[in-house]
Each structure stands twice: as C-alpha cells, then as structure tokens.
C-alpha cells in the first residue's frame, strides 16, 4: 500500500471503471487501500479481470457491476449491490462518459440526448444515490471526471463540450448543498491522455503535433489522472471542494500556434 495517501477501508465506486482512465483510478484507489466496485456498461470480461488483479495485487475487496448509468433503475440496483458487497459508499468517481463527432447543424437530437444522458444526467443520478448514503455518515467525496473541453470549445463536439460544462457547474452546486454534511465534491478535467484505446489514434493523427501543442511537451498518462483522484479522495485534500483540477500540461492555455519570441 502507498503510505503517502491512505484510503484504507474506504469504499469506492468508479463508473466506467473497467478500462482507460477509469481502470487507472480503480488501481490507484486500491493501491491506497480502498475497496472498489468497478462499474461497466457492457464488458464484464475486462472488468472482472481488473477486479481479480485488484484483489490479488492489493488485497482489497473488489467487485464489478454492469449498469448503464443513464438508467435510474440500473443505478439503484448497482448501489444496493455495493451496500451488500463492498459496503456503504465513501467515494464516488463519476468517470463514465461518451462522445461522438458531429457537425452542430447536422447533429441528431437523439445523439445530443445520448451524450447528455451519460455524461451529465447519469453522473447526477449516481451523485444523488451516493449523497443520500453519505449524508448519514456525515462524510464523503464525489469526484466528477470532466474535460478541458468544459472550457475549450472544439469543432464537432458541441454536445460533449456542453455536457462537460454542465458537469462542472453540477460539481459547484453539489459542493454548496452538501458541504454542511462534510461531503466534498470536486471535478478533475483531463486534457490529452493516452490510453490503450486511443494510443493508435494518437499515433495515426501525429503524436508530435500533440507534443508541440502541449506546453509540457507530452501527452498525459492515465496514472497522472488516477493519482490526482486518489489524493483528492483522501483526507490530505480535506479542505478542497467545489473546485476543478485541470490535468492537461497547460494544453487548454495553448491556443496560439506561434511563438512571437522566435527569432527569424
């Protein structure tokens, strides 16, 4: 266990936790001693393999549960399952999300609704269930995984960008309402993060382009997001709530593709 961040005996639910950033968050939480429920929408094999790894490597209690977070009945069943297995929730990480690329004037409203239902509505449903349980304990942490595109517009992603902007405001509103119960609510906004799923896409598009655009000169790694979440979930961040942490190498600040200091 990593002694710098202690989450011993805390019970964590990570939505969309079976792969990518979600899986990294599950691993960092377990490494700090937390018990983990891995939510996944449609890939039990990958989620179950992660659960087995968490149990074996870190000796924590870990389970998986298949649920569409946009479905209130499914979310309710998931939290009831967590109560019976992992235990009463201490930390919720709203990581599940989706996107698609569509020109704004051609975007079908059904696709707008699909993206909002997962990215925003689903996160709110999960936050409600978690908060109702945390209020009785007078303690808890909710972390919403947003994106730099809650502030930075991007062509073809109007539905995604708007849903993430809403998630950021949801974070602030929940922090105001839940603070009196000692429940902290935060948002983590990754930039360009390399995962097993997008590695080839990054390479095809041109890794050197990202390295040039990002002031730190490199694409981020899953672990850099995951360990920030573990810190925010811990008592070491006990006075942090209602704020958003950007993990992007200052990518969102780099909007001008030239350097006026360059000598000719």
CA distances from 93 to 28, 119, 143, 155, 232 (A): 12, 13, 5, 28, 11
- The rounded distance, in Å, linking the Cα atoms of 179 and 186 is 12
Q: What residues act catalytically?
A: 160
The beta-strand segments (E) located in 109-198 are: 140-145, 183-190, 193-194
Cβ–Cβ < 8 Å for 1, 32: yes
Longest Cα pair distance anywhere in the chain, in angstroms? 67
Burial-class residue 200 by CB neighbours within 10 Å (0-12, 13-18, 19+).
exposed
**Rg of the chain in Å (alpha carbons):** 18
- The rounded distance, in Å, linking the Cα atoms of 200 and 222 is 15
Contacts of 126 (CB under 8 A, 6+ apart): 13, 15, 69, 75, 92, 94
């Amino acid at each position: 266990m990593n002694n710098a961040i202690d989450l011993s005996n805390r019970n964590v639910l990570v939505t969309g936790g079976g792969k990518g950033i979600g899986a990294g968050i599950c691993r960092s939480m377990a490494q700090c001693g937390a018990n983990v429920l891995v939510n996944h929408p449609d890939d039990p094999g990958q989620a179950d393999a992660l659960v087995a790894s968490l149990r074996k490597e870190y000796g924590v209690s870990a389970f998986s549960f298949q649920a569409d977070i946009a479905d209130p009945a499914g979310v309710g069943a998931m939290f009831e399952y967590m109560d019976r297995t992992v235990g009463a929730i201490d930390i919720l990480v709203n990581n599940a999300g989706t996107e698609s690329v569509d020109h704004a004037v051609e975007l079908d409203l059904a696709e707008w609704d699909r993206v909002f239902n997962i990215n925003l509505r689903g996160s709110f449903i999960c936050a409600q269930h978690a908060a109702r349980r945390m209020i009785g304990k007078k303690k808890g942490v909710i972390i919403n995984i947003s994106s730099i595109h809650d502030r930075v517009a991007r062509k073809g992603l109007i539905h995604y960008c708007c849903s993430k902007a809403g998630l950021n405001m949801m974070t602030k509103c929940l922090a105001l309402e839940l603070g009196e119960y000692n429940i902290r609510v935060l948002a983590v906004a990754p930039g360009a993060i390399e995962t097993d799923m997008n590695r080839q896409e990054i390479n095809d598009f041109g890794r050197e382009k990202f390295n040039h655009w990002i002031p730190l000169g490199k694409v981020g790694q899953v672990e850099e997001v995951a360990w920030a979440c573990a810190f925010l979930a811990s008592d070491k961040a006990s006075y942090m709530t209602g704020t958003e942490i950007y993990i992007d190498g200052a990518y969102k600040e780099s909007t001008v593709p030239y350097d006026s200091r360059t000598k000719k």
